[in-house]
Every structure is written in C-alpha cells, then in structure tokens.
Amino acid sequence: MPLSICNIVIECGIIFLIVFTPLAFGTVHVWAYTVMELVILFLLLVWLLKLIYLNRSFSGFRLSLVKTPLNLPLCLFFLLVLFQMVPLSPSVIEHISPNTYNLYIQTVPGYGVQEADLNAPDKISTNRPLSIYSHATRDELLKIFAYVAVFFLIINNIKTRDQMRRLVLAIIITGTIVAFLGILQMLSGTNKIYWFWLSKYKIGNYFGPYVNPNHFAGYMGMVIPLGIGFLIAQLLNRSFIPAGSWRHRLSVIESHLSKNSLLIFLIVIMGLSLIFSLSRGGILCFLFSMVFFFTILGIKKSQRKKRKIGAVILGLIFAMLIWIGIDPVLKELSTLADIHFTSNSRTIISKDTLDIARDFPFFGVGLGNFQHIYSKYTTLKTWGYTHAHNDYIEMLADTGWPGAILFFGGIVFLLVKTLLLWHRRRDPFVTGITLGAVTGAVFILLQNMVTFNFHIPANAMLFFIILGLTVVVVHPSIPARNLSLHPRMKLAVYPIMCILLAGLAVTVVSAYQGEKYFKLYKRSTGPMMIPQDLIKSIDCDPSDAAYHCELGRYYAKAMSKCCKDGNWKYVKGKWVFEPGKDAFGNGLMALDSYFQAVILQPTNAWYHFNLGWIIEQLWRFYPETTAGPISHYPSIRPVDEFNLAIMLAPGNSYIKKHAEKYKPLQLNRPLRSRPKAR
C-alpha cells in the first residue's frame, strides 16, 4: 500500500509538471520555477521514503538506480559545476585558469596578494571561485538539477505501460492546449498573454504562453513527433494498408482514421500552431525532424508502409494552412533567401561567444554567467544580451569544453544507444513512442543551434521528461546498479539525504523570498524611508549583487538629498558649501553597498561605474578627505573604476559618455584610511 501511494504521488507530480511548466508563461519567472523546483524536491522526498520502505527488511543501506548512458556524464558535469563554485586561492586559479585570474586582477580590488603581503597598504587577499558570479551559477545549477531529477524519477519509478501511456497523453493534451492558445491569440490580435498579461520583455503579439515564438515552436516541435509516434503505435499492431483493390484499401484507411480522428486532429492543430508562430528555425527544424522520423521508420522493412500515415497528417496540415492563409508564412520564409537579413546579430553573438570560450577553454566563466561577461566581448553596437541564441556555444563559454562535451555528448550518446536498441524491438508501442520521443529530442537539439531552449525551464523540463520516456519505453527490462553500504551507515544516510533536500528547499525558498521583497521595494513609491524590504532581500539572499547595488542607490539618493539641503557659509574669507546632516554617513553606506556588489559580481560595468561615482561625490563634497571611508578597503580611484566600466561594457554609450565626464585629473587621488565623521 505505501509503495502504491508513493508511485501515484510521483506520477501525479510529473503530470503536474508537464501541465504547469508551459502554461506558467514557460516557467521563466521566479515564482514559476520556484514552484517547479519545490515540487521536484517533494517528489524526491517521496522517492526517498519509498526507498526507506523497500529497505525496511534489509539490515544495511541499498540504493538501486537504473543504469543509463547518461548517468556518468551528468554526474561528472555536476561535479565540474560544483568545482566552479569552490573558493580557490589566487595561485591555484592562476595555474588552472590564467584568464580568470587576470580578469580578477583587473576587476577585484586588491586581488592576488600573497599571504606575506597582507600587511602591505592598499592590499586585500581573498579566495574566489572559478565562476565569476557564483549566485548565477547556483541558480542555473538548481534548475538543471531539477530537470535531471525528473529524468531519474521517471526511469526509476515509471515501470508499467499504463504509466507511460498516461505521461504521453498528458504531454499531447497539454501541447494541444498550448497550441489552441497560440492560434486564438494570433487570430484575436491581442498584445497580452492570456489576454491579461503584458510582459516587460516584449510589446506586440505573443504566441501562446511564451513571449518568444521561437520557444513556442521549440515546445511544439517536441510534442508533435511524440503525438505522431503515439498515433503510429495505435496502427502498427496490424497491417495498415493491406493488399487488395483500391476501394478496399480506402475503406481500411477510413476505418483507421476514424478510430484515431481526435488524435489526428490534435496533431494537425499543433502542427498549424508551430507554422503560424512564424519561427523560421522552428519550421525548418520541424520539416527536418519529420524527414528524420519517417526515414528512420523506413529502416524497418515491415514498417515502411506505415509512413503513409505521415503523408496523411502533413497533407492535412498543409490543407488547413492554405485554408486559413499561408501568405504570412511564405513571407517570413522568403527572408531566408536574403543573406543580409539572415546574417544578423546572432552570427556576431556566436563569434563573440566563441572568443569567450577561447579565453576560458577548460573551466569556462561559470554556469549561467554568459550574460555577466558578454558585454566585455561584444562587437555589437547594442548591449545587454542575456543568451547567445545557441545553447552549445553558450554552454561552451559557461563550462568550457569538458562541460559542453559531458552535457551534450552524454545526451547524444543516450539517443544513439536508444535508436540501436529500438531497431531490435518489434513491439508496436515501443516502436512508435520511442521514435516519436527521439525525433522530438532531435528537433530541439537542432533548434538549439539558433535559440536558447535549454534556458526556458518549460522546454528543458519537457526535453528531460522525453529522454526519461525513451529509456523506460525502449528497454524491456532496465538494468539497475545496486549500491550497498554497511548497516551502521543506514542510520546516517537517510538523515543526510533528508537534510540535503531540506537545504535545497530552504535555498530555493530564500531566493524566492529575496526576489519577492526586492519587487515590493521596487514598486514602493512615496517619500524616502528605511528600505526594509530591500534589507529583507539581502537577508534572504546575500549573494545577489543586484540587491546590494540597489541598496547603494538608495543611500546615494539619500546623500544627494542631504546635500541639496546644505547651504553656503563664509569661512575664513571664502565661501564653503556645507552639506546637510547625514550626507556623509549616507555616502559611506552607499560606498559600502557598491563595494559589496563589485566583490560579488566584479564583471558588472554598472557596479564599477557606481563605485567610482560615489567616491567622486564624497571627494566633491569633502575635498579635504585623504582617507578612505572604510579602513579595510584597498585604494580605489574613481578614474580606475570608470575605466573598468568602459572596459567591461565598451558598447554601452551611456557609461562611456558619463565616465568621461567624471574623470578629471583631480580624481586620481586614492582613498586610504577612514576620515573622522562630521
């Protein structure tokens, strides 16, 4: 009884994720992926309870895990990313990643001092990780952990054909709902998702719950082949088109189509929605994936006739497309012939990202850190790109060659092994579902060359669910690896696992709470007051540099307000401006917050610009100051911070313009020790 309850809970949880992730705006918002991660942690806890129940009669600890070609690469990938987050001494980083060391030398004040030089003035010694911004690496690692956890939940808990069928139907039904939403929104011409949500990332027509039509196409491109595979699985248990007269053949075809008319209709709707999303890459990858599907299906001589079902479906999609209106699709596809149009900023971004990968070949800049280093390498006139529009080279820049090979190489190896095993299977259900799932995976791997589906949680989640389905469907009996420990370890292993899950849950909730308080602070209006919500954000998630920078802005505004309240006094034969009360104290608080933001995220140009600006302001109002506001800070010259800001964001015209404005010669004087407060 407890085992059946655990299995039901795990299956229902996976189905909830299938339905929730795409409908929750692709799960790109903090609240959405927080729900996703918490649900997965809960399912892992249920799985742990199931293992405890199974081991109740066993004296020691025994953990049985399904063996797949993806297990070892994923484990090594996680170890690599965890190593990126380990604080290392400057000497170690200098040897294993020289460019990371040089980057820290340039951007982290006083970095790289030997222990013997700690007493030297203006120096600071600190250990730092290979990840240039550990907070971003932690957040991205939690998401990938969630995807991989679902994969392991499926391969270790989904055993029966009914369970597999329910998961497939959940994916197809959810995909149909998403497709209907997209088509209805297109026909209505709304500029809001669900007719009420206006995203800050884009103004215009959306497609379904996704802001970017390319990601909508990425989602549908995984569901459609699975739907076709499920349809073929229903037809392969008998000869689809037997020998005989054409009338007899037509009657047989009509009989089969009528029995599966609803499923065919759903597949056609999903195909139409993908085409009308006007994603050029999505449409081309879909056509290629269909060629792949029916080519692989034709490898089996006994199944070649079944390819005609594909011709029927594609014909229906094309007929519906002409009926609704094909002109917008042809107009969008015609741009592919224009070399100048197609050779757009994505090509330049790819080249710039490869430059990052060449500078950090072995360990990368840290998982999830592309957006925090790209502004330094961009050759575009614009700036602020958060992704490379190519998941392969972005992973290459983030984790180096080892990480990219382990992650994507492991996935490709799993798909190849699956196809080899699929070729030996004769079960109709296995033939259809496995080939449909593999084709969906091939589609998304192709489209990832021109977009960033793996950074959209809904798409990445569905991809790993499909990978899990391929494993459990194609294997007649999945081999397992048993891990046994001494009986005395049993009492320690279970509590440790529970503590780890609880720690991950606390991390996820704390990050959400920090973001929630931060948004409350940003929405607050009225007179300036103590930023309680912002302070709560820092308490919940002190590793987020954005919170410290925002606190610095608050105190900088408070300092400016106090300075405006000042007045001129005639002292010793000359007029002297006397700032208002608390101006100096607010300036110190702003400096402290900006400095902390720089330490946490040293490659952010805005943080260096703000740090230089606040020092310049302190010197402007307190020209006699020759000592630094905080005694343990290294020497910081405004001109150096402004130059760093320009170096880290050469394409940012605003920073360049104002940095030049705040770089007079008198700002070359360093701050050293703390002055006496007024």
Averaged pLDDT for residues 118-131: 64
**Runs of H (alpha helix) within 189-303:** 213-235, 246-259, 261-276, 280-297
Q: How far apart are CA 578 and CA 352, in angstroms?
A: 49
Question: Could you give the 3-state DSSP secondary structure of residue 531?
Answer: coil
> Which is higher by pLDDT, 17 or 668?
17
- Predicted confidence (pLDDT) at residue 564 exceeds the cutoff of 90: no
* 493 band by pLDDT with thresholds 50, 70 and 90: confident
Q: Which range has the worst mean pLDDT, 37-51, 54-68, 494-508? A: 54-68
What mean pLDDT value characterizes the chain?
Answer: 82
Cβ atoms of 438 and 422 closer than 8 Å = yes
Q: How far apart are CA 170 and CA 192, in angstroms?
A: 26
> Which is higher by pLDDT, 416 or 526?
416
- Predicted confidence (pLDDT) at residue 587 exceeds the cutoff of 70: yes
**pLDDT for 570:** 52
User: 220 Cβ partners below 8 Å, 6+ apart?
Assistant: 175, 178, 179, 270, 271, 273, 274, 277, 282
**pLDDT for 304:** 54
Which segments within 535-655 are labelled E, that is strand? 567-571, 574-578
- Predicted confidence (pLDDT) at residue 622 exceeds the cutoff of 70: no
Could you write out the DSSP letters of every residue in 76-111?
HHHHHHHHHTS-B-HHHHHHH-HHHHHHHHHHSTTT
Q: What is the pLDDT of residues 186-198, one digit of tens each?
A: 888 787 888 888 7
Q: How far apart are CA 516 and CA 510, in angstroms?
A: 10
Q: How far apart are CA 354 and CA 370, in angstroms?
A: 11
- Predicted confidence (pLDDT) at residue 116 exceeds the cutoff of 70: no
Q: How far apart are CA 146 and CA 14, in angstroms?
A: 12
- Predicted confidence (pLDDT) at residue 482 exceeds the cutoff of 70: no
Within a 10 A sphere around the Cβ of 290, how many other Cβ atoms?
A: 19
Question: Could you give the 3-state DSSP secondary structure of residue 675?
Answer: coil
Long-range contacts of 660-667 (CB under 8 A, 24+ apart): 662/612, 662/613, 662/616, 662/638, 663/638, 663/639, 666/619, 667/615, 667/616, 667/619, 667/637, 667/638, 667/639
Q: What is the pLDDT of residues 514-558, one digit of tens each?
A: 999 998 888 876 555 668 889 999 999 999 999 999 999 999 888
**pLDDT for 631:** 42
Q: How far apart are CA 608 and CA 602, in angstroms?
A: 8
Look up residue 420 and give its two tokens.
């080899």
Query: What pTM value is reported for the model?
Result: 0.89
Averaged pLDDT for residues 442-470: 95
Share of the chain above pLDDT 70, in %: 75
677 alpha-carbon distance from chain centroid: 46
> Which is higher by pLDDT, 559 or 626?
559
Q: How far apart are CA 225 and CA 432, in angstroms?
A: 10
Averaged pLDDT for residues 144-164: 94
**pLDDT for 449:** 92
Averaged pLDDT for residues 245-273: 74
Averaged pLDDT for residues 35-54: 91
**pLDDT for 629:** 45
Q: Among candidates 257, 254, 250, which has minimal Cα distance to 232?
A: 257
Single-letter residue type at 377: Y
Look up residue 264 and give its two tokens.
């065919």
Averaged pLDDT for residues 411-432: 89
SS (HEC) of 106-134: HHCCCCCCCHHHCCCCCCCCCCECCCCCH
**pLDDT for 667:** 46
> Which is higher by pLDDT, 180 or 205?
180
Cβ atoms of 415 and 470 closer than 8 Å = yes
Domain ranges in the chain?
Answer: 2-74+133-483, 86-117, 544-668
* 301 band by pLDDT with thresholds 50, 70 and 90: low
* 635 band by pLDDT with thresholds 50, 70 and 90: low
Q: How far apart are CA 536 and CA 532, in angstroms?
A: 6
Our CA dihedral for 177, 178, 181, 183, rounded to 10 degrees, sits at -110
Architecture of the domain made up of 544-668: Alpha Horseshoe (1.25)
Cβ atoms of 114 and 444 closer than 8 Å = no
Look up residue 334 and give its two tokens.
């015609």
- Predicted confidence (pLDDT) at residue 568 exceeds the cutoff of 70: no
* 436 band by pLDDT with thresholds 50, 70 and 90: very high
* 462 band by pLDDT with thresholds 50, 70 and 90: very high
Q: Among candidates 53, 39, 30, which has minimal Cα distance to 10?
A: 39
> Which is higher by pLDDT, 311 or 428?
428
* 409 band by pLDDT with thresholds 50, 70 and 90: very high
Averaged pLDDT for residues 101-123: 68
